[in-house]
């Protein structure tokens, strides 16, 4: 079991972020006898997934919806799948846009190098 500070350090996020995720019911940590939050390995893996979703620009409302569906049970698997498929398409669009921007930048860099004789 991990404390909130340990999980925050392990994942490179703040304890404030973990409290926010709890407030939004994205994660529901366990509590010890003193009421302190405790996280097991399953919590850590879930948070790693949440962090990746955030890094790929999934809105917090959609992450919250996914978490809610997961907590409802296995009968929500088709809806969760649809959320992830939609997000995957959005990530692929982001990647295509970044690739196009990178190609444009490369052309500009080549032009400037040619202009200044490098």
pTM for this model (two decimals): 0.80
The Cα-based distances of 83 to 50, 63, 80, 97 in angstroms read 13, 9, 5, 21
- Each residue of 64-108: pLDDT tens digit? 999 999 999 999 999 999 999 999 999 999 999 999 999 999 999
Three-state DSSP at 28 gives coil
According to the model, what pLDDT value does residue 6 have? 96
59: left (phi over 0), alpha (psi -120 to 50) or beta: beta
> For residue 46, what are the domain limits?
4-116
Q: Give 35's DSSP letter.
A: S
Which pLDDT does position 117 carry in this prediction?
A: 81
Q: Do residues 2 and 38 touch, judged by C-beta distance below 8 A?
A: yes
Domains in the chain: how many in total?
1
CA 36 to chain centre: 25
Q: At what angle do helices 15-23 and 4-11 cross, to 10 degrees?
A: 110
Residue 12 is part of a domain; what is its CATH number? 1.10.1660.10
CA distance 45 to 103: 35
Query: Model confidence at 4, in pLDDT bands (50, 70, 90)?
Result: very high
| Rg of the chain (C-alpha set) | 20
């Amino acid at each position: 079991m991990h404390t909130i500070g340990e999980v925050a350090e392990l994942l490179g996020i703040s304890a404030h972020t973990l409290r926010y995720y709890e407030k939004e019911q994205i994660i529901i940590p366990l509590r010890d006898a003193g009421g302190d939050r405790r996280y097991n390995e399953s919590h850590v893996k879930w948070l790693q997934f949440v962090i990746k979703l955030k890094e790929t620009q999934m809105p917090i409302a959609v992450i919250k919806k996914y978490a809610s569906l997961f907590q409802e049970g296995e009968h929500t698997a088709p809806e969760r799948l649809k959320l992830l498929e939609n997000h995957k398409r959005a990530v692929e669009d982001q990647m295509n846009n970044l690739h196009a921007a990178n190609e444009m930048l490369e052309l500009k860099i080549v032009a400037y190098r040619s202009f200044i004789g490098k």
